[in-house]
Amino acid sequence: MHYITEPMAIEERSMEIIAPYLAELNLTHEEVKVFSRIIHAAGDPEYSKVIEIHKDAIRAGCAALEAGCNIFCDVEMVRTGINKRRLADNGGTVHCLISDEKVASTAKELGITRSMVAMRTFGERLHGSIVAIGNAPTALFEVLNLMKETTIRPALIIGVPVGFVGASESKDFLAETSPVPYITVRGNKGGSPIAAAITNALLYMHKR
């Protein structure tokens, strides 16, 4: 059996296979890159039907990355999947507090999720950053609430929590109320690999 073993060739062939699914969607060149990386990460062309990119999202995300912004994640799986070397090229770092002992104890005391406490703890640091949420709908709700109650404004929210309890609703709320650009996938789909894939798509396209 013959199969491709060279990493770049595998990726290039994957993108060739994905391209026909996007051909009739009237996407910009940059949007194609985001859609393609999402579909590649999920192995699921059906994502093309549920991805939603705010009109200013790619511009805002790339500008923030070029300016050296930090990225704040809800879970370690998102943080692990992001290309930190590429992010560091312009001075940015990626952060996650889900395993922080103080965050865990506060969450237990308040009876809320650790991801909510993590976003509250990041607080003002979220301003001008990229927020990447791939797992916890409560983290996305918390960021939206922070924006409602304060002047905190991330440069971009990548909100793709996955699941059946609150995930779809949190993403609908993001699209309906966010005062800042966002990238999301409607419905129950999403997850940490998708959040990381979107982030990396922006990292690979922004000017260095």
Known catalytic residues are 40
Phi first, then psi: what are they for 134, rounded to 5°?
A: -120, -5
Q: Give Cα 169 to chain centroid, integer Å.
A: 17
β-sheet bridge partners, residue 46? none
List the one residue out of 205, 194, 150, 201 whose CA is nearest residue 171. 194
Does residue 114 contact residue 177 with C-beta atoms inside 8 Å?
no
Bridging pattern class, strands 182-185 and 51-53: antiparallel
Q: Please tell me the distance from the alpha carbon of residue 30 to that of residue 5, in angstroms, as a whole number.
A: 28
Q: DSSP class of residue 5?
A: -
β-sheet bridge partners, residue 137? none
